[in-house]
Amino acid sequence: MSHFTTINPATEAEIATYAWHGHHDVDRMIAAAAAAQRAWSTMPLERRLDALRTLGAVLSSHVDLAAHTITTEMGKPLSQARAEVEKCVTACDYYVQHAIEILAEQKVPTDYRRSAVRFEPLGVILSIMPWNFPLWQFFRFVVPALAAGNGVLLKHAPSTTGSALLATRLCHIAGIPEELVQTLIIDIPDVERVIADRRIRAVTFTGSTGGGAAVASLAGSYVKKCVLELGGSDAYIVCADADVAHAASQCVASRCINSGQSCIAAKRFIVDASIAEAFTEAVIGAMAAQTVGDPMLPDTTIGPMARLDLRDALIDQVHRSVAAGAQLAFPRDPLDHGQHRGWFIAPSVLAHVAGNHPAATEEIFGPVAAIMTASSDTEAITLANASRYGLGAAVFTSDPERAEHLVAQLDAGNVFVNGYVRSDARMPFGGVKDSGYGRELGPFGLREFVNVKSVITI
């Protein structure tokens, strides 16, 4: 095979076919990106930010086109796809307002005549992005990378190649040089060749832990900086004094975002035993209220899984969890969703999940909630931190001191209190343990891909 074919997961119909770039094409694209980056890096920061301001306007004017492309390729409900594109605008807005301050030279008091720290671009960065948020994952990286003066080559997930090409085209419409931001249509075996190229200065990867480990190994072998945003199995601790209705509503809202296909979706609900029955009933009610169907329809809240293999893997995890002792509390069959075509699954609830069940030890990437019980806050923390992941977590309690005590003990890069975990352009985002390292967004995200240069005059 020398091409990618994209498929609509709601209809199983082919969308388009894209030929791979050959080695000669890739070499030419890297050379062009390197030359464009040198010119871009010498441009005054204010001019780079003008281009990013225009990019925000271009994204705003192309919301309908971009949302339709996302939904067609990976099945996200159209209203959520629109929200994804609109969120990309917030990244433009944030860095346009704050990049000058974040990148400003810092004076350091020493006994030298002059000592300062500068933040300068690294060069061309390879961006390897996933299918689940095909525009947001890219733009939350590319906006700060461009603000810092870098160039970008995008290798996107094959199933969302159309979204990748649209993302880079929107950059070009905004006046960002075509050579500076390009999409590489290459398969996994060709990734090493790109990382090995001396003109590629760093790599950023968002995706599975296994994929991240492979990319990190390659980046390390060629001494390239790497930022990894990987999987998660987010624990939501629901204390005995929590507002049960609110907690259940927030947990289900998080669990069902993007049809459950989100690294920071709520995945393990660790509930105080005294309220477990009431919480489980509330969660089942909220899951039953979800509308599974055509993602183009306005009332749909859960679309199809993005690929058939993803749906099959999720069903297997449910079956193995039930075989291990968990109870499928809702529905009787996750495949009983009323859809005759497409890769759909019914929103499901697993109760009585133990720490050694697949639903607790593996990342569940779909609309399946796993409910666990704890007899104390100490046990809840132990269950939450037992996961190899550490991306996000949430705590539901009416006691602020209790919340602070639990937040301090959670092994996670993001912790929310009385609400579900989400990314925000103003705040750093990333994880610990098998959820990766490095940060995106906020001031830290802008400084990930810069040379922190010390300058001293004796």
Exposed e or buried b for every residue in 8-24, given b needs 16+ CB within 10 A? bbbeeeeeeebebbeee
Q: How far apart are CA 251 and CA 265, in angstroms?
A: 9
State which amino acid sits at residue 201: R
The candidate with the shortest Cα–Cα distance to 330, out of 271, 289, 294, is 289
Give the separation between CA 81 and CA 308, rounded to whole angstroms. Answer: 20
Q: Cα(337)–Cα(347) distance, rounded to whole angstroms?
A: 8
Helices 78-103 and 63-74, interaxial angle, to 10°? 120
* Amino acid found at 177: P
Helix/strand/coil percent split, the chain, to 5: 45, 20, 35
Cα separation of 121 and 360, whole Å?
41
CA 409, CA 414: separation in Å to the nearest integer?
A: 12
Say whether 263 is catalytic. yes
CB-CB neighbours of 378 under 10 Å: 10
First to last CA, the chain: 60
229 is catalytic: yes
Q: Which of 239, 263, 362, 448 is labelled catalytic? A: 263
Cα(321)–Cα(357) distance, rounded to whole angstroms? Answer: 5
User: Which one from 84, 229, 363, 440 is the annotated catalytic residue?
Assistant: 229
> Is the Cβ–Cβ distance between 393 and 420 less than 8 Å?
no
> What's the chain's Rg over C-alpha atoms?
23
- The span from the CA of 351 to the CA of 421, in Å, is 22
Three-class DSSP labels, 106-121: EECCCCCCEEEEEEEE
**Catalytic amino acids?**
229, 263
